[in-house]
């Protein structure tokens, strides 16, 4: 080492200084605005056009029809590159990015997320007919 004294000075100068690093994961991370995290699907807005499926560069989305105006969206996040192309492509704003980024898993199957609209509520029960008025 050519100038050990210079290095020692730097070390001593920083001994009592506040660290420049953060303590994540022991403290919550500060998420920057615009972070593209886990995709969220709003089933009630989806029209099943499959544009998101076609535009996804990673083949990470599958949209299936479940019934009349009911669709499910399957995300394979182990394939997702978080480009948000699907969000930009969706004509109904049925997809959005969240700031959820802690998605690491040892089992890739746990990165499959299936979203679908809840079943339609049952139709209200038919009301009994009022009794016919008696005639004399
Ligand atoms: S963020 Fe990109 S890679 Fe991920 S599902 Fe959407 S289009 Fe596909
Ligand atoms: S692009 Fe939007 S509306 Fe079309 S299938 Fe995908 S989520 Fe549904």
| Domains contained in the chain, CATH given | 34-116 (3.30.70.3270)
**Atom 3 in ligand 2: which residue has the minimum CA distance?**
46
Mean pLDDT of the region 11-29: 87
**Residues 10, 16, 19: CA angle, nearest 5 degrees:** 85
CA of 62 to the centre of ligand 2 (A): 10
Note if the bond before 25 is cis, omega within 30 degrees: yes
Instruction: Report CA(120)–ligand 1 centroid distance (Å).
Output: 29
- Whole-prediction pTM: 0.74
Q: Which residue has the higher pLDDT, 57 or 22?
A: 57
Residue 70 is predicted with a pLDDT of: 87
Residue among 60, 89, 90 to mutate when testing ligand 2 (max atoms within 8 A of CB): 90
């Amino acid at each position: 080492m050519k100038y050990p004294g210079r290095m020692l000075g730097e070390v001593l100068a920083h001994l009592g200084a506040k660290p420049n690093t953060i303590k994540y994961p022991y403290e919550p991370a500060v998420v920057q605005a615009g972070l593209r995290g886990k995709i969220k699907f709003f089933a009630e807005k989806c029209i099943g056009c499959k544009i998101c499926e076609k535009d996804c560069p990673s083949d990470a989305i599958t949209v299936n029809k479940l019934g009349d105006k009911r669709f499910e969206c399957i995300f394979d996040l182990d394939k997702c590159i978080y480009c948000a192309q699907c969000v930009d492509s969706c004509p109904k704003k049925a997809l959005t990015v969240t700031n959820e980024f802690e998605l690491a898993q040892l089992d890739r199957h746990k990165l499959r997320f299936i979203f679908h609209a809840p079943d339609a509520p049952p139709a209200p029960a038919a009301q009994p007919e009022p009794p016919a008025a008696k005639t004399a």
